[in-house]
Amino acid sequence: MTAIAFVLASWRPDAPAGMERAVAATAAGLRALGHHPVIITADPTAGTSYTGIPIAHINALHIPTPTTDDTLRTAINQAAKPLQHELLAIYSRHQVDIAIYVDGLWGLGRVMPTNAPSRRILAIHVVGHDADLHAALARHPTAVIAPSTVVLHRATARGYDTTRWRVVPNPLLTDPAAPDTEHREHLRQQAPIKILARLGPEKGVHELLTATPPIHRPTHVALADAGFEPQAGDQTRLLQACRAEAATHRQLTILPGLPWRSTAGWLADASAVIVPSLAETFGLVALEALSGGTPVIAYDVDNLPALIGQGGVVVPRPHGPGALWRAAHDLLADPVTYGRTSRAGYYLSRDYRPAQIADLLVKVVS
């Protein structure tokens, strides 16, 4: 079996961010297949293990939480040599065969040691800053992977040669059972609409809340702050704006973020899930909703149409947030289409089971 390390400076359990959750899910899938994953992080709150997966800590990187890309980049550059030494020591201690740097910046790809291990993988969840991607590619990774073709297309448009890059989708963290038909019909009639996102402007939540919902149905909005933000204080300001908007609508309730293991169940108990993202290179929240048989309403942006397929309704982005509410209203009013959509979403999600994606990863990077 293979020892595989995931390097992500910001990794910690229950972080409301796609890269962190995808690492946890992939590592869990690898462990289920008998491989030996280890997660390497600079977050001192991450603990020493997660569901039996060892967590190794690097101590040379000190950054505030939340932080910005510029702050993190400066800290990495200043600690480059100590970081490389720590990484090599961890690889030796855990007998790592494959190291996966989860992002050029946040995954420390820009300081990737070039002498160990023999397989060094750069994972590109978002193209990000050219300064970081150029630096990471200059470290000569043996392979580059991305969660969707959207990332490849964006990188190609920016001038990168992606002909040898490979797609390895993000997996589900859990492997839920098929939804019960009668219970799903009850949810269609009675359950709230739900929205789950981190506090980022690109998630489109505030824009959605400013559009008057034409649905007489409670809507629960779970919002969480991540360990990163464009500018200091952005997440606090956005949360305040969302709360102020919700205060004007009796049906809207703002809730805190959720632990990873609770997310799928919370989404599965919704009548529908709206994903108002304005950019989404994969779409883990949409996938988790589909896995519970909950139809997803989203814009036709990035990877969402390909991911959702017949498991929801995709509306043109120019139509605005009102179109998302109307699509949810129309779907909830049509029990036949709703039932068909629910079943389709669940079966689409079966392609993203953790062990299945982990097996694909091993084949791609070995």
Residues 48 and 125 both lie in one domain: yes
Residues 82 and 142 both lie in one domain: yes
Residues 160 and 185 both lie in one domain: no
In a domain, 205, yes or no: yes
pLDDT at 96: 98
Q: At 291, is the secondary structure helix, strand, or coil?
A: helix
Q: Token pair for residue 88?
A: 């090599």
Q: Token pair for residue 158?
A: 């920016």
**Residue 1, CB-side half-sphere exposure with 13 Å CA sphere:** 12
Place of tokens 């990187």: 61
In a domain, 361, yes or no: no
Residues 326 and 190 both lie in one domain: yes
Query: 168, 192, 225: which is the final residue of a domain?
Result: 168
Residues 132 and 55 both lie in one domain: yes
In a domain, 266, yes or no: yes
In a domain, 164, yes or no: yes
Smallest CA-to-CA distance from 234 within 69, 68, 348, 99 is with: 68
Helices 130-137 and 69-78, interaxial angle, to 10°? 30
Tell me the whole-structure pTM to 2 decimals: 0.94
Domain span holding position 203: 181-351
In a domain, 365, yes or no: no
CA distance 321 to 261: 29
Smallest CA-to-CA distance from 197 within 125, 130, 121, 275 is with: 275
> Residue 226 — very low, low, confident or very high, per pLDDT cuts 50/70/90?
confident
The two beta strands, 119-123 and 193-198, are unpaired
Give bridge partners of residue 322 from the DSSP assignment. Answer: none
Residues 147 and 193 both lie in one domain: no
Helix (H) or strand (E) holding 154: helix 149-157
Q: What is the pLDDT of residues 69-85, one digit of tens each?
A: 999 999 999 999 999 99
In a domain, 173, yes or no: no
Residues 223 and 311 both lie in one domain: yes
Residues 34 and 143 both lie in one domain: yes
User: What's the total number of domains in the chain?
Assistant: 2
| DSSP 8-state code for residue 211 | S
Residues 46 and 73 both lie in one domain: yes
> What's the whole-number average pLDDT of the chain?
94
Beta strands of the chain (E only): which ranges? 3-7, 36-41, 49-50, 53-57, 98-102, 119-123, 143-146, 166-167, 193-198, 219-224, 252-256, 272-275, 296-299, 312-315
Rounded average pLDDT over 300-329? 97
Query: 142, 168, 194: which is the final residue of a domain?
Result: 168
| DSSP 8-state code for residue 228 | B
| DSSP 8-state code for residue 67 | B
In a domain, 176, yes or no: no
Residues 209 and 343 both lie in one domain: yes
Q: Which CATH number do you get for residue 120?
A: 3.40.50.2000
In a domain, 363, yes or no: no
Phi and psi at 307, nearest 5°, equal -75, -45
Residues 27 and 81 both lie in one domain: yes
Give the distance from CA 282 to its chain's centroid: 7
Phi and psi at 363, nearest 5°, equal -65, -35
Query: 168, 196, 216: which is the final residue of a domain?
Result: 168
Residue 247 scores a pLDDT above 90: no
Q: In what order do the strands lie in the sheet with 312-315?
A: 252-256, 219-224, 193-198, 272-275, 296-299, 312-315
Rounded average pLDDT over 146-172? 97
pLDDT at 214: 62
Q: What is the pLDDT of residues 325-359, one digit of tens each?
A: 999 999 999 999 999 999 999 999 999 999 999 99
> Residue 64 — very low, low, confident or very high, per pLDDT cuts 50/70/90?
confident
Residues 202 and 80 both lie in one domain: no
Q: Which burial class, exposed, middle or buried, applies to 217 when counting CB atoms under 10 A from its CB (0-12, 13-18, 19+)?
A: middle
